[in-house]
């Protein structure tokens, strides 16, 4: 039930209609019987700052921020978490009681928590890590993997200069690799992460031979439409361990929910079933 005292939060994007965040947060609100609501907020870039200030002034607890506002959110926040500071991107805003706006980036946390849930021995796969892509998601994931102890990291990207920029901006100990050298970069890799949109419904396929990967490699994709991407299917055929991308979305939502609604939510089979139902 929503009363006059309900706590409010939402997701700000442009567009936002495809976002699964309202499905996730409202599931938890109902499961934990929290007096609150979480709504989708379509906000054009030029209106972003005004909208955030308005939500704060209207008493919202905070908001998630998605494409294309993540960098603007980092600029607008009064304080940033170390990860948000490093990546220059914010996906979770928390409005503090004194009116200050705190920004966090929970994408890397979501990525690692998903890896852990899908492959409890994931730390054994941090020897030679190959990341495909150098966009916003790759930034958060590269930082998280470096902090978790990746020994060697290669960033393979279509536009090599973007991989170089990512490594420089984040001060990472990593090597940029041009896309046409991707297959040789996979040699003996123990973890392969796809952060590009290749393989997503409606996008081009990800054509990459997995032959060179280490026989004990772990392969994960942040694409979750389809849930089992062609990359994951091919990895499975090679008898490699796989982790799909939906859990990253579920886990990245947890810190925001805890900050706004005061309960630490869990990611379980019932939530997964609920979200998969909403995706159909
Ligand atoms: P996100 O925030 O989800 O990471 P993004 O910042 O737009 O999205 O990044 C998309 C990534 O997918 C980039 O690394 C992009 O490569 P470029 O830097 O060359 O643009 C990669 N990507 C997108 N389409 C691609 C394609 N057809 N082939 C190879 N890489 C592609």
Give the three-state DSSP class for 97.
Answer: coil
In the reported structure, the alpha carbon of residue 134 is separated from the centroid of ligand 1 by a whole-number distance in angstroms of 7
Selection from 72, 105, 65 nearest residue 87 by Cα? 105
Pocket of ligand 1 (CB under 6 A): 133-138, 157-159, 162, 195-198, 204
Would you call 70 a catalytic residue per the annotation? yes
Contact assessment for residue 127 and residue 265, using Cβ atoms and an 8 Å cutoff: no
Question: Half-sphere exposure of residue 206, counting CA atoms within 13 Å on the CB side?
Answer: 29
Which amino acid residue places its CA nearest to atom 28 of ligand 1?
158
pLDDT on residue 1: 82
Measure the CA angle with vertex 146, ends 145 and 150; round to 5°. 75
Q: Which ligand 1 atom sits closest to the C-alpha of 163?
A: 18
- Return contacts of 195-198, CB within 8 angstroms, 24+ apart: 195/131, 195/132, 195/133, 195/135, 195/137, 195/138, 195/141, 195/222, 196/132, 196/133, 196/135, 196/158, 197/223, 198/132, 198/223
pLDDT on residue 131: 98
Residue spans of the chain under pLDDT 70: none
**What is the value of pTM for the model shown?**
0.97
Query: Which listed residue (33, 49, 70, 86) is catalytic?
Result: 70
Q: Which ligand 1 atom sits closest to the C-alpha of 158?
A: 19
pLDDT on residue 51: 98
In the reported structure, the alpha carbon of residue 133 is separated from the centroid of ligand 1 by a whole-number distance in angstroms of 6
Q: Which ligand 1 atom sits closest to the C-alpha of 139?
A: 4
Which amino acid residue places its CA nearest to atom 12 of ligand 1?
196
């Amino acid at each position: 039930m929503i009363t006059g005292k309900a706590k409010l939060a939402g997701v700000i994007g442009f567009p936002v209609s495809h976002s699964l965040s309202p499905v996730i947060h409202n599931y938890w609100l109902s499961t934990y019987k929290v007096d609150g609501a979480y709504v989708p907020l379509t906000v054009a870039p030029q209106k972003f700052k005004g909208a955030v200030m308005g939500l704060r002034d209207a008493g919202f607890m905070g908001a998630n921020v998605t494409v294309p506002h993540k960098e603007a959110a980092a600029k607008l926040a009064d304080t940033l978490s170390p990860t948000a500071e490093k990546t220059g991107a914010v996906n979770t805003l928390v409005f503090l009681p004194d009116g200050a706006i705190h920004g966090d980036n929970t994408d890397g946390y979501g990525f690692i928590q998903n890896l852990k849930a899908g492959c409890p021995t994931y730390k054994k796969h941090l020897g030679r890590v190959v990341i495909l892509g150098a966009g916003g998601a790759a930034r958060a994931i590269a930082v998280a993997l470096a902090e978790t102890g990746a020994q060697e990291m290669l960033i393979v990207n279509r536009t090599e200069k973007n991989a170089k920029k990512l490594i420089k901006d984040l001060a990472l100990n990593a090597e940029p690799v041009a896309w046409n050298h991707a297959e040789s970069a996979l040699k003996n890799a123990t973890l392969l992460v796809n952060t590009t949109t290749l393989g997503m419904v409606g996008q081009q396929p990800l054509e990459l031979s997995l032959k060179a990967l280490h026989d004990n490699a772990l392969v994960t994709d942040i694409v979750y439409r389809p849930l089992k991407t062609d990359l994951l299917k091919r990895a499975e055929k090679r008898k490699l361990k796989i982790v799909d991308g939906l859990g990253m979305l579920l886990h990245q939502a947890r810190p925001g929910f805890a900050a706004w609604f005061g309960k630490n939510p869990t990611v379980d089979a019932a939530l997964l079933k609920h979200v998969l139902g909403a995706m159909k």
